Amino acid sequence: MSARTPIIIDTDPGIDDAIALAMALFDDRLDVRLITTAAGNVDVAKTTDNALKLLEFWGLDVPVAVGAARPLVREPQYETAVHGVSGMEGYAFPAPDRSQLLPETAVEAMHRQLQASAEPVTIVCLAPMTNLALLLREHPEDQDRIARVVFMGGSTQRGNKGVLSEFNVHADPEAADIVLRSGLPLVMLPLDAGWRALVYPEDSARIRELNETGAMIHGLLSRYRGIGLRNGLKMYDGCAIAYLLEPNLFTMQEAPVVVELDGKYTSGATLVDFRGYLGIDANVSVATDVDASGFTELLLNRIDACRRESGVG
């Protein structure tokens, strides 16, 4: 058993995804073996470019594989109003070198990593869960190779894409349904956890001063449309990495969670059944609260640890 937790990150950078990657990639407690990209905040070509841009910024050599271009059933939906047209507005990255991409798809790259690993691997989903659903469908034998799935998605309260639906689940509810019914150990960092994991203007100013990564992230934050920097910017995807690093920052509750697929107005809503109305067994460990100041401290500490290959920070 390695001391570091092996993980695969499935992501759609995305400004909060970029911050989550910064938190994960320089932490000795995690071993990021693969990054797979998803159609989500922007199309998959752009999220892939964005993942490559970040890795090139840091000079890191983590394999990247391109994910599905569209959800399992529905038309793609994007979040350009939140993350900008490129998905990562606010910093002028050079064009990435696409020749660095793995030749295989996200599903095949995940499959290969899972089968090659000496120990089960944690899958971290920061995007619509299309790639993971396809993996479970195409390679059911991989289920035993997955330690658990830690995902940012769904809501125990209201939504940010529909009245009751959170973007990642709303964009591909059929994929979320497959994952939620998979029987895998599941950890859910819902939208409402992100509502409490906020970056305020004073935090953002501190981030800018930390190092070059901090300056880059400050640029992204200046273009990230949460509820506005003044009221705090929501670090949704960062919660998933924070949970892996410091689970004690979160209050967790086991609950049955299902996805509404057919609702005329509620498609993509997650029903988190804390009171047992549905009469089904708990399948998810759900974050119900976050130590907000502990999260901020961890976030700053992780950005402070980011280094560029040149060593200038």
Binding site for ligand BDR (CB under 6 A): 14, 16-17, 41, 79, 82, 126-127, 152, 160, 166-168, 191, 236-237
Number of neighbouring beta carbons within 10 Å of residue 287 = 27
Residues 6+ apart with CB under 8 A from 146: 114, 120, 121, 122, 123, 184
> Is residue 268 part of the contact set for Ca ion (CB under 5 A)?
no
Q: Where in 123-142 is the site for Ca ion (CB under 5 A)?
A: 126-127
In the complex with Ca ion, the residue whose CB is nearer, 129 or 258, is 129
> Is residue 8 part of the contact set for Ca ion (CB under 5 A)?
no
Eight-state DSSP code of residue 75? P
Paired residues of 283 in beta bridges: none
In the complex with ligand BDR, the residue whose CB is nearer, 16 or 142, is 16
In the complex with ligand BDR, the residue whose CB is nearer, 30 or 189, is 189
- Rounded to the nearest whole angstrom, what is the least distance from the CB of residue 35 to ligand BDR in the complex? 14
> Is residue 194 part of the contact set for Ca ion (CB under 5 A)?
no
79 binds, among Ca ion, ligand BDR, none (CB under 5 to 8 A by kind): ligand BDR
Choices 42-50, 69-77, 121-129, 175-183; region in contact with Ca ion by CB under 5 A: 121-129
How many residues touch Ca ion (CB under 5 A)?
6
| Cα–Cα distance for residue pair 64/101, rounded to 1 Å | 5
| Cα–Cα distance for residue pair 285/190, rounded to 1 Å | 11
In the complex with ligand BDR, the residue whose CB is nearer, 39 or 210, is 39
203 binds, among ligand BDR, Ca ion, none (CB under 5 to 8 A by kind): none
In the complex with ligand BDR, the residue whose CB is nearer, 170 or 302, is 170
| Cα–Cα distance for residue pair 231/198, rounded to 1 Å | 8
Residue 14: cis peptide before it, omega within 30 degrees of 0: yes
Task: Kindly give the interhelix angle for 212-221 and 44-58, rounded to the nearest 10 degrees.
Answer: 150
In the complex with ligand BDR, the residue whose CB is nearer, 16 or 177, is 16
CA angle 31/36/61 to nearest 5° reads 50
In the complex with ligand BDR, the residue whose CB is nearer, 19 or 145, is 19
Cα-Cα end-to-end distance for the chain = 31
Q: Which residue is nearest to ligand BDR (CB)?
A: 167
SS3 29: coil
Strands (E), the chain: 5-11, 30-37, 64-65, 121-125, 146-152, 186-189, 198-199, 233-234, 250-255, 257-259, 270-272, 284-290
> Is residue 96 part of the contact set for Ca ion (CB under 5 A)?
no
Of residues 8, 9, 17, 122, which one binds Ca ion by CB under 5 A? 17
Choices 7-15, 112-120, 244-252, 291-299; region in contact with Ca ion by CB under 5 A: 7-15
- The residues of the shown chain that bind Ca ion, judged by CB under 5 A, are 12, 14, 17, 126-127, 237
